[in-house]
């Protein structure tokens, strides 16, 4: 009975897509991301100086309108190269290839930010279902499913030790009126947050190193988490 109720309300669709995306793709590729970044950085030491950006940045458009070509979606996003690919035997497919693309993102000050970025492909399924009469997805239901997909995926990844610090989910709602560089600004915002996080860690380590030379009374003066740089906003769904 509960299963039938879930089927009628379509609650299981996004949940299943999130788990499938994790088990069938992210759990395979994310643990290898940092190694690919390290290999790239040895040949290109200046492009990915901030280690906090050594992640796969996953775009989650809540409209489910996934763009296949990021360069066409936003001219401030330029393809650079592919990172080292992973080849595995998977479900009877010999030498299945997994790879990520590195992009240069230009901000409003003409500065380039480099990162690996791609869209969450299961959202294409949600979009296709909303266009198919058999699935009977309304636009409102699709939006709710997209939010549920994001929340479910976020919870799954938070509990995954092997995927820790290898990804960043970038969920967003596109503005009603088209903005030429909306997507690049959204990505750059997250890259800036990662830079702030790295600076905070470095400054915290430096202060900790200095504190070892202080006496016991001075050691009681510790920096609280609230004193560290905080995100400029929170994206809640």
| Tokens found for residue 115 | 């990162």
**Are the CB atoms for 187 and 173 separated by under 8 Å?**
no
196 pLDDT higher than 50: yes
| Tokens found for residue 227 | 């004193």
Q: What is the β-pairing status of strands 101-106 and 93-98?
A: unpaired
Mean pLDDT of 119-132: 89
CATH superfamily of 8-208: Stimulator of interferon genes protein (3.40.50.12100)
Q: What DSSP character marks residue 149?
A: H
Write the pLDDT tens digit of every residue in 149-169.
Answer: 999 999 999 999 999 999 999
The pTM of this model reads: 0.80
Write the pLDDT tens digit of every residue in 201-215.
Answer: 666 654 444 433 334
Task: Give me the phi and psi of 59, to 5 degrees please.
Answer: -80, 130
- CB neighbour list of residue 189: distance below 8 Å, 6 or more residues apart: 232
Q: pLDDT averaged over the chain?
A: 82
CB atoms within 10 A of CB 29: 19
Angle at 71 between CA 35 and CA 188, to 5 degrees: 60
Report domain extents, the chain.
8-208
Q: Chain centroid to CA 27: how far?
A: 14
């Amino acid at each position: 009975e509960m299963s039938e109720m879930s089927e009628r309300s379509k609650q299981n669709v996004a949940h299943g897509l999130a788990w499938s995306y994790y088990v069938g793709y992210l759990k395979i590729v994310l643990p290898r991301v940092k190694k690919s970044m390290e290999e790239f950085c040895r040949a290109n030491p200046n492009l990915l100086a901030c280690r906090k950006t050594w992640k796969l940045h996953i775009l989650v458009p809540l409209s489910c309108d996934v763009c296949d070509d990021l360069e066409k979606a936003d001219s401030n996003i330029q393809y650079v190269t592919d990172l080292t690919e992973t080849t595995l035997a998977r479900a009877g497919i010999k030498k299945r290839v997994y790879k990520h693309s590195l992009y240069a993102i230009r901000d409003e000050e003409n500065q380039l930010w480099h990162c690996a970025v791609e869209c969450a492909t299961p959202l294409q399924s949600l979009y296709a279902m909303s266009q198919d009469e058999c699935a009977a997805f309304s636009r409102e239901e699709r939006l709710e499913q997209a939010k549920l997909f994001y929340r479910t995926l976020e919870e799954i990844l938070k509990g995954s030790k092997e995927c820790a610090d290898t990804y960043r989910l970038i969920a967003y709602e596109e503005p009603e009126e088209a903005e030429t560089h909306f997507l690049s600004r959204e990505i750059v915002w997250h890259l800036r947050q990662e830079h702030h996080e790295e600076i905070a860690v470095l400054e915290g380590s430096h202060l900790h190193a200095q504190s070892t030379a202080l006496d016991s009374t001075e050691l009681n003066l510790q920096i609280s988490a609230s004193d560290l740089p905080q995100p400029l906003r929170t994206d809640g769904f």
